[in-house]
A and B are shown apart, each in its own frame.
Chain A
């Protein structure tokens, strides 16, 4: 099983629609979870952290299910500018020492006018 698995898409969604995608992770020791956004030929940028209780930031809602080891991202009222690749990111949970991030390959989202 891959460490972080995402549906690569592309997801083609009309403007204004709601879209959701999931990500599964294999390391049960992972402690922190993030969604990053990466535009074509640009660097990843932090979209939001994902908390156990779920969290919302404007049109974006992130959920974490530790028991099933998956994370979700919901985008409401999608805008053309939401078109990007969304990267699911987990820490490796090595416990107090060096801890890089493990990235999924990303889900490509295309918002259509």
Chain B
């Protein structure tokens, strides 16, 4: 399936590294999202973009920095992460941010911080 793609699929980084996660959607959607999924916890919404504009930042630490250069691409820049940031990071897109529009997820990046 190629609706929403994410790279890399797996990433191991040290606490002093800087890395970026990439997401691309091929569905012509206007909204994109970053979620974090930790073991034994529900998915947590991190950021919401609508037409390249950030519309929500869910009290996410500044060591996570999103970027949305256009409506098809979304990045998550990572720096000085902590071991507890190890998780599955999922990107999603939807036609619109308004209520009722289903979200479609990419395969995720499994991040391990050492």
Contacts and interface: CB of A to CB of B under 8 A. Distances in A.
Interface of A: 4, 31-32, 34, 41-46, 49, 87, 91, 93, 95-106
Given A103-B43, A106-B42, A98 B105 contact: no
A49 B102 contact: yes
A32 B103 contact: no
B43 A43 contact: no
A4 B45 CA distance: 14
A43 B42 contact: no
A42 B45 CA distance: 17
B66 interface: no
Contact of A101 (B103, B107, B110): B103
Nearest to A4: B42
Contacts of A97: 55, 97
Given A32-B100, A91-B100, A44 B105 contact: yes
Contact of B98 (A42, A87, A99, A106): A99
Interface string B78-114: 0000000000001000000111101111111010000
Given A34-B102, A103-B42, A106-B42, A43 B107 contact: yes
Given A43-B90, A105-B42, A98 B106 contact: no
A52 B108 CA distance: 32
A106 B43 CA distance: 10
A56 B39 CA distance: 31
Given A97-B55, A99-B99, A101-B45, 7 more contacts: A31-B99, A43-B105, A93-B99, A97-B97, A99-B97, A100-B48, A103-B43
Given A98-B50, A98-B56, A44 B43 contact: yes
A94 to B, nearest CB: 8
Contact of A98 (B40, B97, B110): B97
20 contacts: A31-B99, A32-B99, A34-B102, A43-B106, A43-B108, A46-B102, A46-B103, A46-B104, A95-B99, A98-B97, A99-B97, A99-B99, A100-B45, A100-B56, A100-B58, A102-B45, A103-B43, A104-B42, A105-B40, A105-B41
